[in-house]
């Protein structure tokens, strides 16, 4: 089976495609590979362990179902987290910004003395 990031070649409808593996995953006890070409088109493949072959999923409905499962379970498209609710970002910093970035911080009272 190919690993994520690997490149492989596959002939679909008498045309050879160079595909990059986006993901390999298991769904309903079957192993699938999601491949993407240079145009951004995704192809779904079933990995046959017995023959060590890839089988292209021609049925668009089945391929879309597998892609949706992959997006939901592995890409977590719908669950990116809500950072606004994180209490870490609601805290206030303890240091005083004006004091830190002021010229007096480096011992220079005037801008001309700095240069």
Q: Is 83 helix (H, G, I), strand (E, B) or coil?
A: helix
CB 17 within 8 A of CB 43: yes
* Of 62, 56, 52, residue with least CA distance to 28: 62
pTM to 2 decimals?
0.62
Q: What is the pLDDT along the chain (115 residues), one digit of tens a residue?
A: 788 889 999 999 899 999 999 999 988 889 999 999 999 999 999 998 888 899 999 999 999 999 999 888 877 655 555 555 555 555 555 555 555 555 555 555 556 655 5
What six digits make up the tokens of 10?
Answer: 């596959």
- The number of beta carbons lying within 10 Å of the beta carbon of residue 54 is 20
């Amino acid at each position: 089976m190919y690993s994520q990031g690997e490149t492989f070649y596959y002939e679909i409808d008498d045309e050879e495609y160079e595909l990059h593996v986006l993901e390999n995953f298991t769904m309903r006890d079957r192993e699938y590979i999601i491949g993407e070409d240079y145009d951004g088109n995704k192809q779904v493949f079933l990995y046959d362990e017995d023959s060590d072959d890839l089988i292209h999923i021609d049925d668009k409905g089945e391929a879309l179902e597998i892609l949706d499962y992959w997006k939901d379970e592995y890409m977590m498209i719908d669950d990116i987290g809500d950072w606004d609710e994180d209490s870490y970002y609601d805290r206030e910093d303890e240091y005083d910004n004006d004091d830190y970035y002021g010229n007096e911080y480096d011992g220079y009272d005037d801008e001309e003395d700095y240069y």
